[in-house]
Amino acid sequence: MAALARSILVTGSNRGIGLELVRQLAASPRPPQHIFATCRDPKGPRGKALQELAAQHPSIKLVQLDAVNLPSIRGAVRAVGSHLKDQGLNLLINNAGVSSHATLRSLDSREMLSAFATNVVRPVQVTKEFLPLLEKAAKGVGKEGLSCSRAAVINISTKLGSIGLCLRAAQNMVTRCMAAELQDKGILCVAIHPGWVKTDMGTEKAPLMVEHSVQGILMVLASLSQDTSGAFLDWEGNTLPW
């Protein structure tokens, strides 16, 4: 099977679903040439698991990226651009996220705004800054149709409902709008719900192992095409209502 994409960037890759995405991509039989594993503090103690993984796989490049900090995002774009030289970035996975368990009774505007910044504003801001690199990949010679191997933006989202998580409805709307705009540039855009996964966010109570969720997500990514651009899918490829 061909590599999913020549170059892939994952945000929030120091733990949870992001770390497992990087692990499985690097260990795949046809790994991407460049896996840009980004997180807030790649050199610090929170990046330890990622540092250990990168030491085993030369395809993994650690890049600092705080998804709500514009200078940090721009620094990451420069670092990625200098690795890729004249090539573009094929696949951007907006995975970094925070959960909010707020209900109408417990609602705290600061928590809501912080969750909104990380979960809704950041995929747009990160995608906007990486757009020139994605467009460069989309224009690659002999490429037709939409696919992750050409150029794509994947927003890891959620179908779960609570007032805090309803902020993600806003993220899903953003995916839909991005897909419509990016289609003409040859860039696919999809939102994916990873399931309820055993991670720090999903907690031990979650039924799904992170390995299984990520195996499913990677299979779904490989199957994406023009027909699924703008879709909201789960980790098993089922279409979810917006």
* C-alpha angle 152-70-119 in degrees, rounded to nearest 5: 60
Coil, strand, or helix at residue 92? Answer: strand
Report 199-238 residues binding ligand NAP (CB under 6 A). 199-202, 206
In terms of DSSP H, where are the helices of 122-195?
122-138, 167-183
Q: According to CB under 6 A, which one of 4, 8, 17, 220 is a site residue for ligand NAP?
A: 17
96 binds ligand NAP (CB under 6 A): yes
| 138 φ/ψ angles, rounded to the nearest 5 degrees | -65, -30
| 70 φ/ψ angles, rounded to the nearest 5 degrees | -60, -45
Coil, strand, or helix at residue 62? Answer: strand
Q: According to CB under 6 A, which one of 7, 11, 64, 229 is a site residue for ligand NAP?
A: 11
Residue 126: CB minimum distance to ligand NAP, A: 9
127 binds ligand NAP (CB under 6 A): no
CB 10 within 8 A of CB 35: yes
Q: Give the total of residues touching ligand NAP (CB under 6 A).
A: 30
Q: Stretches 7-15, 51-59, 173-181, 225-233: which one binds ligand NAP (CB under 6 A)?
A: 7-15
Q: According to CB under 6 A, which one of 32, 42, 97, 230 is a site residue for ligand NAP?
A: 97
**DSSP single-letter state for residue 45:** G
Report 145-204 residues binding ligand NAP (CB under 6 A). 156, 158, 193-194, 196-197, 199-202
Residue 155: CB minimum distance to ligand NAP, A: 8
